[in-house]
């Protein structure tokens, strides 16, 4: 059985422990007995935000990416890279568009008309973008592997924070083609 909560707890614990220590990780991840996933997500993010500055919070959450379904997505992005000769061309491919990728002004974007995070399925709304930063970590790993260079990923919008879509900007920092 796929237990996303347990996976998220362990991943978050390890990311916090790497940024600080085991005691801090324990107090943030297991600080209260929240049986409800919605309450746990919101309370844990509040504790994280209260213990670390914004930059550290962002990095900790990026380090929480779970890698769920990565192999399939990586194969697709590698296929798109092979079928194109520029970021603009990649962003104009039908398969890229079908997967939520598009290029505007020479910048690659990835969007979703729904929240792809299984942990947030029952969450109506989040107060901040903190939880959603894990998707930037996921996308960074995905696109760096596919592009063969470092990539910066910026979260621009999130449905769970009240935006109409989830949207990221993917910026390769090296040569792809």
Q: How many distinct structural domains can be found in the chain?
A: 2
54/92 same-domain check: no
131/110 same-domain check: yes
41/126 same-domain check: no
Owning domain of residue 42: 4-62
Domain end (from 62, 82, 111): 62
Residue 13 lies in a domain: yes
What pLDDT score was predicted for residue 101?
Answer: 98
Cβ contacts of 23 within 8 Å, gap of 6 or more: none
Residue 102 lies in a domain: yes
In whole angstroms, how far apart are CA 77 and each of 18, 57, 70, 93, 100?
30, 28, 10, 11, 11
102/164 same-domain check: yes
The Cα–Cα gap between 108 and 18 comes to 31
What pLDDT score was predicted for residue 1?
Answer: 37
Residue 142 lies in a domain: yes
pTM of the model: 0.91
57/95 same-domain check: no
What pLDDT score was predicted for residue 149?
Answer: 98
57/76 same-domain check: no
Edge-first strand order for the sheet with 151-157 is: 101-104, 107-112, 166-172, 151-157
Residue 136 lies in a domain: yes
Token code pair at residue 99: 């997967």
Domain end (from 62, 78, 101): 62
In whole angstroms, how far apart are CA 59 and each of 45, 116, 173?
13, 20, 18
Residue 177 lies in a domain: no
Per-residue pLDDT of the chain (177 residues; tens, 9 = 90+): 358 889 899 999 999 999 999 999 999 999 878 788 999 999 999 999 999 999 999 999 999 987 778 999 999 999 999 999 999 999 999 999 999 999 999 999 999 999 988 899 999 999 999 999 999 999 999 999 999 999 999 999 999 999 999 999 999 999 999
């Amino acid at each position: 059985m796929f237990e996303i909560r347990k996976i998220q707890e362990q991943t978050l614990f390890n990311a916090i422990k790497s940024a600080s220590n085991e005691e801090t990780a324990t107090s943030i991840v297991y600080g209260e007995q929240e049986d409800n996933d919605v309450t746990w997500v919101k309370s844990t993010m509040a504790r994280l935000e209260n213990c670390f500055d914004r930059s550290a919070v962002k990095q900790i959450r990026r380090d929480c990416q779970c890698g769920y379904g990565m192999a399939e997505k990586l194969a697709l992005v590698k296929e798109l890279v092979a079928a194109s000769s520029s970021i603009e061309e990649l962003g104009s491919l039908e398969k890229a568009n079908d997967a939520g990728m598009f290029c505007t002004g020479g910048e690659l974007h990835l969007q979703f008309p729904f929240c792809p995070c299984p942990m947030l399925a029952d969450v109506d709304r989040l107060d901040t973008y903190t939880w959603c930063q894990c998707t930037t970590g996921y996308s960074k790993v995905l696109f760096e592997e596919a592009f063969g260079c470092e990539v910066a990923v910026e979260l621009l919008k999130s449905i769970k924070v009240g935006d109409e879509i989830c949207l990221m900007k993917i910026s390769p920092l090296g040569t792809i083609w």
